[in-house]
Amino acid sequence: MAIEKQSDKLKSVFLPFLSTSHIIPLVDMARLFALHGVDVTIVTTKHNSTIFQNSIDLDSTRGRPIRTHIVEFPASKVGLPVGVESFNVNTPREMTPKIYMGLAILQPQIERLFEDLHADFIVTDMFYPWSVDAAAKLGIPRIMFHGASYLARSAAHSVEQYAPHLKVESDTDTFVIPDLPDRLEMSRLQLPDWLRSPNQYTELMKVIKESEKRSYGSLFNSFYELESDYYDHYKRVIGTKSWGIGPVSLWANQDASDKAARGYAKGEKEGKEEEGWLKWLNSKPDGSVLYVSFGSMNKFPYSQLVEIAHALEDSGHCFIWVVRKNDGEGGVFLEEFEKRVRESERGYLIWGWAPQLLILENPAIGGLVSHCGWNTVVESVNAGLPMVTWPLFAEHFFNEKLVVDVLGIGVPVGAKEWRNWNEFGSEVVKREEIRKAIALLMGGGEEDAAMRGRTKALSGAAKGAIQPGGSSYNNMVELIQELMSSNFPSFNREIITESSLFLSNFHLLFVFQLRCKSRRNFAVLVKVILSMMEV
């Protein structure tokens, strides 16, 4: 499936953001470029490389031109313990601004790497808007990676443009998102806070959008048949090139070894745990088990964990639950619950990280309860599985609209309130609502059968998209051929003024200010950014 290569390989640098949900799909994209003959270097820090290094090592043994370049995270300079260098469910809230500070310190070093590694083009996460200026100085294309769906980005753009949420009287009243291919209704409470009312993050998103317009184009982990109307709509309203080359997890991880290697490096304990859940799952009838997971960035309060546990136990269906325990809260309850459901062979709890691709493709899985993170949505479609939707933060509520209202492959649990990723929020979904949604998904009725039929059809389309002649395959061919034929020295060469350099660095300050609890801390961060700009 590799594209015919020219004798001189294109050289690329991929720069993922320091968050698991952003790292995994962008690394899969990097692996696809290497599969098609592009020389790839992934730049990241040591701890974050453990998420994907097994996959890179496998690809290297296959002769693919891909490697990881480690930059040392400046933990001591920002007052962090060694190894704390990413945004995830276990990142202490008070350490978040220090990680951003470390990223700011690393920026000049990464910019020099783009030149030292002789990159012909760079692919960087949306949270690195400064990289469009770095690429312009080198006269090479910058391609932006979006970790969301085309519908989510289209809906956010519409809310920014038309502000329909300001035309309703209360936070719970619904409004129609204008100028979209479908009639989609939401409430103010379901919008991200930066869209409800302007804040510093709103300004950051404006900087990101401006950097996208100055980039060569954008990449999405999506495929045309999944959200074709929004694929076309997004390119029209944003006015830039964009390529959907998904589903990247399906394309880049076709062997069992790839699926097992994906994610954090496994120690002896994790290996034994995998044998446990796999043996349990293989003992269950096809389509009988519900998979429950809320992604790598979420923790629930004890009160919500109790409701989920009772709903699962009372549902009458077997389940695998990927759960994260809150320190000092609910430990005894969850331990007793785990013991009870294991003895009855009704349930299996996985603590922490789970090998999701391997679980979803197991024939015993019949559906899932999901937070509507985009990676999980795409992976469930790949596996042909309908889902109970439980959006939490980021663009999750927009993704729910695609799953439930546009595609008709999901049942909403009834979540009504958006929250930040590192907060519990005030909403607790009751066990009765959870149980009701599970019954609709797994009950075997007409609605369930119709959803499964639609999901199976989309699964077939996902597999076809990555085959020669498929929509994503053709997008990959088109993009690489464009990059091969581009006149790099003259591409995007602009006069970089001091003000534009300041803007590309200043976006970090907005995030810092959101995370800092005192003006003194924020002032320190401002000094760091300003001194960095003098390098």
- For 251-260, how does the pLDDT look when each residue is reduced to its tens digit (9 = 90+)? 999 888 898 8
Can you give the pLDDT at residue 372? 98
pLDDT digits (tens, 9 = 90+) for 41-68: 999 999 999 999 999 999 999 999 999 9
DSSP 271-333: HHHHHHHHHHHHTSPTT-EEEEE--SS----HHHHHHHHHHHHHSSSEEEEEE-PBTTBSHHH
Cis peptide, bond prior to residue 181, ω within 30 of zero: no
**Residue 190 DSSP class:** G
Strands (E) in 407-469, as ranges, are 410-412
Task: Quote the CA–CA distance of 425 and 400 in Å, as a whole number.
Answer: 19
Residues involved in catalysis: 22, 125
pLDDT band at residue 272 under the 50/70/90 scheme? low
Strands 185-187 and 217-220: unpaired
Whole-angstrom CA distances from 217 to 123, 482, 483 are 10, 12, 11
Residue in this structure with the two tokens 């989920």, named with its chain if needed: 308
Coil vs helix vs strand at 484: helix
pLDDT band at residue 6 under the 50/70/90 scheme? very low
Q: What is the mean pLDDT of residues 499-522?
A: 45
Question: Dihedral, CA atoms, 355, 359, 362, 363, nearest 10 degrees?
Answer: -170
pLDDT exceeds 60 at position 9: yes
Whole-angstrom CA distances from 136 to 48, 131, 207, 373 are 27, 8, 16, 32
Instruction: Name which of 46, 240, 204, 28 is nearest 130 in CA terms.
Output: 204
Q: Average pLDDT over the chain, rounded to whole?
A: 89
pLDDT exceeds 90 at position 496: no
pLDDT exceeds 50 at position 388: yes
pLDDT band at residue 273 under the 50/70/90 scheme? low
Can you give the pLDDT at residue 408? 98
pLDDT exceeds 90 at position 495: no
Which residues have a Cβ under 8 Å from the Cβ of 519 and sit 6 or more positions away? none
Instruction: Name which of 77, 17, 62 is nearest 43 in CA terms.
Output: 17
pLDDT exceeds 80 at position 519: no
Q: How many CA atoms lie within 13 A of 519 on its CB side?
A: 0
Can you give the pLDDT at residue 340? 97
**Cα-trace Rg, the chain:** 23
- Four-residue CA torsion sign, 122, 125, 129, 130: negative
> φ and ψ at 121, to 5 degrees?
-160, 160
Which residues have a Cβ under 8 Å from the Cβ of 505 and sit 6 or more positions away? 104, 107, 130, 529, 532, 533
Task: With beta carbons less than 8 A apart as the criterion, state whether 408 and 400 touch.
Answer: no
Coil vs helix vs strand at 160: helix
Distance from the Cα of residue 348 to its chain's centroid: 26
Q: What is the mean pLDDT of residues 491-517?
A: 43
Encoded tokens for 444 = 């075997």
What letters, b where the CB count within 10 A reaches 16 and e where it falls short, cover 1-16? eebeeeeeebbbbbbb
First vs last Cα of the chain: how many Å apart? 44
Q: What is the mean pLDDT of residues 435-449?
A: 94
pLDDT exceeds 60 at position 100: yes
pLDDT digits (tens, 9 = 90+) for 216-229: 999 999 999 999 99
pTM: 0.91
pLDDT band at residue 421 under the 50/70/90 scheme? confident
pLDDT exceeds 50 at position 533: no
Task: Quote the CA–CA distance of 111 and 298 in Å, as a whole number.
Answer: 32
Which residues have a Cβ under 8 Å from the Cβ of 204 and sit 6 or more positions away? 507, 510, 511
Q: What is the mean pLDDT of residues 389-409?
A: 98
Instruction: Name which of 305, 289, 295, 262 is nearest 372 in CA terms.
Output: 295
Task: With beta carbons less than 8 A apart as the criterion, state whether 99 and 87 touch.
Answer: yes
Coil vs helix vs strand at 356: helix
Which residues have a Cβ under 8 Å from the Cβ of 329 and sit 6 or more positions away? 301, 302
pLDDT band at residue 422 under the 50/70/90 scheme? confident
Coil vs helix vs strand at 16: coil
pLDDT digits (tens, 9 = 90+) for 323-347: 986 665 667 899 999 999 999 999 9
pLDDT exceeds 90 at position 129: yes
Strands (E) in 141-258, as ranges, are 142-146, 174-176, 185-187, 217-220, 242-244
Can you give the pLDDT at residue 424? 83
pLDDT digits (tens, 9 = 90+) for 143-188: 999 999 999 999 999 999 999 999 999 999 999 999 999 999 999 9
Task: With beta carbons less than 8 A apart as the criterion, state whether 298 and 337 touch.
Answer: no
Question: Higher pLDDT residue, 55 or 503?
Answer: 55
Task: With beta carbons less than 8 A apart as the criterion, state whether 223 and 247 touch.
Answer: yes
Which residues have a Cβ under 8 Å from the Cβ of 147 and sit 6 or more positions away? 21, 22, 25, 26, 125, 126, 221, 374, 375
Percent of the chain with pLDDT over 90: 79
Can you give the pLDDT at residue 265? 56
pLDDT band at residue 531 under the 50/70/90 scheme? very low
Question: Dihedral, CA atoms, 366, 368, 373, 377, nearest 10 degrees?
Answer: 20
